[in-house]
Structures are given as structure tokens and as C-alpha cells.
Structure 1
Amino acid sequence: MSLDLIYGIGVGLALGMTGGGGVLAVPALMLGLGYTFPQAKPVALIAVGSAAFIGCLDGLRTGIVRYKAALLMAALGALCAPIGLRIAEALSITTLMVIFCAVLLFISARMFTQAVFPPSEASQQQGNSRGNRCLVNSCSGKFQWTRRCFVSLATIGGLSGLFSGMLGLGGGFIIVPGVRQVSNLNMHSTVATALAVIAFISGGTVAAFFLLGGVVELAAWRFIGAAMAGMLLGRTLAPRVSGSFLQIGFSLLVCIVALVLLAKTLSPYFH
């Protein structure tokens, strides 16, 4: 099996199980397959968006996607993605890579902390009483919408779109920990909802890329197809693994990838 298929399956598997695995697409293409950052961005977006669409369909089939929240976040993400594209054009590749690695390390630390040190039941109840969270109705499994909930989810969607356009990411690395922070939605439903948002945001960003004259090499489609296959496997395995275990494993993997990528980016400046 060729490396592009192996890496593609790995990215799709991580995305299907955690919702944030799309952050591994760019590092896999750069570190594993020798792509430059500008070459990796569109391939990663297409791979992550296509795989996320399959995961979204699976989530809708099982009824765990919070589609109203997904549409809200996707709408704000689609509006902010072109801004991210413009910012990327104004920055150097080294600057973008340092920002990318810094974001990875921050998200890794955030997800690890949430998994290892979850808030106590008392603190959760205190936060809920203050209206700081998007609460889920225990009977319907749907969000109880408030103004604070609307603003929180809209902000998460906007940030995910901004970074999607700027760094070639699907946005799940922001959506999953963000939704987990502001709501009591369980991990598996959060991942399914994030995949729906990623599919919409990635689709809009990819469309903008092609409209601006972007081209993807034929060989890259093998990586994209493998990512879609990995997604199917990931969505099959995800319900069998605890949410905390997924968060811890994923956060550690992202941390390692970020450090390796940062070292490669900065190494020319230490010679």
C-alpha cells in the first residue's frame, strides 16, 4: 500500500473518531508526502471536507447531529473563510506555519485538560445556573436555545471558518473543544455535529479556491479517497471508544505532530 493511501486512511480515521482529525491532514501531506504548505492546503481541505460529508450523513442517519447548531456555525464559518484566505495571502509561509503549530499546541492542551480534569458536577451546575452554557434537553437531546448559546456557537463557527481559510483546516479542532466548553453535549454527538459544520465550511473554502484558479494534482485524489475510506472506519469504531479516551489520545498525537512540524519550520534559522 502506498504512503498516500496510508496517510489518507489515518487522517480519515482520526477525523471520524474525534471530529478534529482534519488538523493532521496538512502535517501528513507535508511531513509524510513532501508537499509544501501551499500545495497541502487545498488537498487537505478537499480530503477533510469530503470525509466529513460522509461522517455527517452517518450522524444524520443515527440522529446525533444537532443540525440547527451545525447550520449556524457553518453559516458564520462560510462568511469568515474568505477573510482567512486573504490573511493567508498577506503572510509569509513561515509565519503561517508558526501560527498553525501554535494553534495545534493550544488546542492539544485544551482538549487534554478537558479530558483529564473534567469539571465537577457542582461546578457544572453553577455554570448552568448562570446561563453560561448551551444546555441539552435530557428528553429530546436538542439544545435549549438562549441568546448566550446563539452567540457562543456563532463565535465558534466564525473562528473555525477563519482558520479554515487561513491554514487549510476543516475547523473541527476549534469546533469540538469549543462546543464541549460551552455545552453539555456528549462527545459523540459533538463530533457528528462538528463533521456537519466541517463539510459545509470546507466545501465553501474549496469552491473559493477553485474559483480563484487553483488546481489539485491527480495523484492527490488517492489521498482524498483514502481519507473518505478512513472516515467510514472511524465512524464505525467511534461508538465503541469512550469520549475521554478519544480526547486524550488525539490531544497527545496533535501535540507531537505540532512539535515536529514546528522544529522542521524553524530548523533553517538555527543553522
Structure 2
Amino acid sequence: MISLAQLLTALIGAVVGLVMGLTGAGGGILAVPALVYTHGWSMQQAMPVALLAVTSAALIGALEGLRRKLVRYRAAILMALSGSLPTVLGVHIAHRLSQQWLMLVFALILLFVATRLILQLRSPECNDAKRAALARINDSTGRFEWSLKTGAVIASIGGISGFMTGLLGVGGGFVIVPMLRHYTNASMHTAVATSLLVISLVGAMGVGSAVWNGASLPLVLSAVFVATTIGGMLMARRIAARLPARQVQMIFAGLLLCVAASLVLRIAG
């Protein structure tokens, strides 16, 4: 017989998958607090379960993005490689921080990222092809114009997202998507698809590192969570293809603000 915990896990997984498919991120930033609230887990307990589901669903979404030629796979691989060591460092630091400090850091980062995304949407130079960028995608080839500067920008994004993956137990997409949008001329749809590939690569390293450091994964709940997250992801990728990029970006920013507010209220309470 299905337990209440399994039903809640399935519901959370479906919502997380939907959000990931629409925004290229948001999976971990929703999954971790949701598991903490509904199951009474600590953030350290919720992180590996959330990251396993997010990583699995991201792989499915990345394959769909590759089929549609939206993924900039060279950039994704560079970000994943440059994020590998910072991911391990983040896991080590997470195990040495208190629950309150982790939640506070999480909330502050989300508020900062959401604010930057909203300001970007309000800017008259929001057009991807025209706005200035440190690393540019060639309009005719659809690929990055690779140089030392481009490589440094992409590697830096990967390093920061990798550290956040290990520290907060999230896929890193909430860092990758806004940074790709800010420092490159990638469209929102390209940023989302590329982010999903990075999440699948870096997230796998994060799960391995967490297990290596003694994290336990409840078998049944983890399996339910992974399956429903993948289902939500597949549904959302069909919806995302029909939404304007600006609308997807606004949904992402609004989501970040909601999660940040809930964490602040939990800390205050």
C-alpha cells in the first residue's frame, strides 16, 4: 500500500520536474526545502536525494535539447569539468555548516539571482542578438566564438555552479542560466538546454561525493522521487517549446523569489 510519505514524494517530484523542464533550474532549489518541510529531514539529509532526482531528470531534458540542437555541448562539458573540484569542496563545507547558516546562504543567493534576472528583463537591451556579452554565440553557426576570454567566462560559470551544487545540494542551474544570460548572448531556451546537460554531468559527481561522505539514500522514496521528476521533466519540455523566452525567464525569477521568501520565513520562525 502506498504511504503518505510516498504520495508526497511523488507530488514533489512531479512539480520539481515541471519546473526544471521550464526553467533549466529550480529543481534542487524546490526539492531541498520541500523534502525538509514534508519529511522533517535536515538539509544535509535532503540534499543527496534531491540531487539524485534532479541529475536524472536533467539528463533526460539534455538529451531532448541535443535533439533540438539547443545545447551548446562544448560549453557544457567545459563547465562540468571546471565545476568538478568545486563540487567536492562544496560538499565538504556543507557538512561543516549548521542548518540555519545553509538556509540563510541559500535564501540570499536566490534573492540576488532573482533580482538580476528581473532587472535584465526590464532593460531595453534585453535582445539576445544585440546586447553586449563577454562570450558570444555566432548568429550564423549557432555556436560560441571560442577564444581565451570565452573559455575563461564559461569555465568560471562552471566553477561557481559546481561549488553551489556541492554546498546546497542543487543542480547549479539557478546559477548557470542567469550567468549565461548575463555574460553571453545565449537565448533563454539555449541557456536552459545547456544548463540541463551541465546539471546532469556535475550532479552525478555531487551525488557520488555526498555518498562517499556518508550520505544515505532511502531506496523506495528515492526511486519514487526520481521517476516522478523525470515524468514532470518530459511534460514540461513539451510546454517550454511553446512559451516565449521572456515568459520563461519571468517564471524562473518569480520561482526564485518564492523559495527565498519561504526559507527566510522558516529561519525567522
Relative to the length of structure 1, the TM-score reads 0.91
2:242 aligns with 240
Superimposed CA distance per residue, residues 217-264 of structure 1 (whole angstroms, 9 cap, x where no aligned partner):
122321221111111111111110111111112211221121111211
- Could you tell me whether the CA contact under 8 Å between 2:87 and 2:165 is conserved in 1? yes
Equivalent-residue separation in structure 1 for 2:46 and 2:126 (angstroms): 41
Q: For 2:62, which of 56, 69, 77 is the aligned residue? A: 56
Runs of 5+ unmatched residues, structure 2: 1-5
1:46 aligns with 2:52: yes
1:174 aligns with 2:208: no
Q: How does 1:106-255 map to 2 (within 5 A)?
A: 106-119=112-125, 124=130, 127=132, 132-218=133-219, 219-255=221-257
Secondary structure in structure 1 of the residue aligned to 2:95: helix
- Could you tell me whether the CA contact under 8 Å between 2:44 and 2:95 is conserved in 1? no
- Could you tell me whether the CA contact under 8 Å between 1:134 and 1:184 is conserved in 2? yes
The alpha carbon displacement at 1:33 in A equals 3.9
Letter in 1 for 2:160: L
The alpha carbon displacement at 1:199 in A equals 0.4
The alpha carbon displacement at 1:97 in A equals 0.9
What is the percentage of aligned positions where both structures have the same residue? 40
1:50–1:10 CA distance, 2 compared to 1 (3 A)? same
The alpha carbon displacement at 1:120 in A equals 5.7
Superimposed CA distance per residue, residues 5-55 of structure 1 (whole angstroms, 9 cap, x where no aligned partner):
111111111111111122211122123443321111001110110010101
Equivalent-residue separation in structure 2 for 1:60 and 1:50 (angstroms): 16
Letter in 1 for 2:202: I
Equivalent-residue separation in structure 2 for 1:33 and 1:223 (angstroms): 13
The alpha carbon displacement at 1:192 in A equals 0.6
Runs of 5+ unmatched residues, structure 1: none
Equivalent-residue separation in structure 2 for 1:263 and 1:120 (angstroms): 33
Equivalent-residue separation in structure 2 for 1:139 and 1:151 (angstroms): 23
Equivalent-residue separation in structure 1 for 2:130 and 2:111 (angstroms): 26
1:266 aligns with 268
Count of residues paired in the alignment = 262
Equivalent-residue separation in structure 1 for 2:33 and 2:124 (angstroms): 29
Letter in 2 for 1:49: T
- Could you tell me whether the CA contact under 8 Å between 1:7 and 1:32 is conserved in 2? no
1:97 aligns with 2:103: yes
- Could you tell me whether the CA contact under 8 Å between 2:161 and 2:173 is conserved in 1? yes
Relative to the length of structure 2, the TM-score reads 0.92
- Could you tell me whether the CA contact under 8 Å between 1:31 and 1:261 is conserved in 2? no
Equivalent-residue separation in structure 1 for 2:76 and 2:159 (angstroms): 12
Letter in 2 for 1:43: V
The alpha carbon displacement at 1:118 in A equals 4.8
Q: How much is the aligned-residue C-alpha RMSD, in angstroms?
A: 1.9
Equivalent-residue separation in structure 2 for 1:134 and 1:78 (angstroms): 22
Greater alpha carbon shift after TM alignment, 100-109 vs 32-41? 32-41
Superimposed CA distance per residue, residues 61-98 of structure 1 (whole angstroms, 9 cap, x where no aligned partner):
11111000000000011121011012112221111110
The alpha carbon displacement at 1:107 in A equals 1.2
